[in-house]
Amino acid sequence: MRLFGLSSWAILVPEVLMGVGTVAVVYAAVRRRFSPAAGLIAGAVLALTPVAALMFRFNNPDAMLALLMAVACYFVIRGLEDGRTRWLVWAGAAIGFAFLAKTLQAFLILPPLALVYAVCAPVPVKKRIGQLAAGLAAIVVSGGWWVAIVELWPASSRPYVGGSQNNSFLELTFGYNGLGRLNGDETGSVGGGGAATAVAPGARPAGTGCSAPPSAARSPG
């Protein structure tokens, strides 16, 4: 916005670029394990999937989530090739930043990735465990710094955590943006404590023609 001004182009071009990046990463990952033709097929399937086509042309964190999850998978594949710890650390960092984009939804790929590496990595079992621990530490560092800042900062001097019910990023993480997505218990996106300033992402205050106030925080999800 600061560079190009407020316009649909400035908002949506980054989403499109993230879509292109996701397709490219999927192509690169599949190509390494199979062939260029297989990579092209995988990339084409992703690009032509209706929900992906919609997601990459809409102003929402899902595009960033998809890109970072694809990057994490790519790094794990690299780790399976040579057994270097750095690939697990980079994969953990990608998942940590994906957590900041869409909270617990980023962790859906953690169990299969950890299981595949634990079973198939070309290094001794003891080293695999250490590498997985290093990846977990990378997730905590890359995703935890923002959680710590928000939770430790006085609520009276920061924007309301949009999407939460009690102005808490942790509540948003485990509630509306976490277990609520699995069990269907998604309580409304705006809580009661900050009703004066909390506005759901993209919504307008009732009875007005104004946009959401600047103080309303748009949190992941």
Residue-wise pLDDT for 145-188, tens only, equals 988 888 888 888 888 877 777 777 877 777 766 666 666 665 65
Q: What is the pLDDT of residue 198?
A: 42
Residues of the domain holding 192 = 156-202+209-221
| Inside any domain, residue 59 | no
Question: Into how many domains does the chain fold?
Answer: 1
Q: What is the pLDDT of residue 78?
A: 93
| Inside any domain, residue 176 | yes
Whether the predicted model's global pTM rises above the 0.85 cut = no
Q: What is the pLDDT of residue 218?
A: 46
The residue ranges of the chain whose pLDDT is under 50 are 190-221
| Inside any domain, residue 219 | yes
Q: Are 156 and 166 in contact (CB under 8 A)?
A: no
| Inside any domain, residue 220 | yes
Q: What is the pLDDT of residue 199?
A: 37
- The phi, psi pair for 55, rounded to 5°, reads -65, -40
Q: Are 42 and 82 in contact (CB under 8 A)?
A: no
| Inside any domain, residue 221 | yes
Q: What is the pLDDT of residue 186?
A: 59
Phi-psi region of 112 (alpha: psi -120 to 50; beta: other; left: phi over 0): alpha
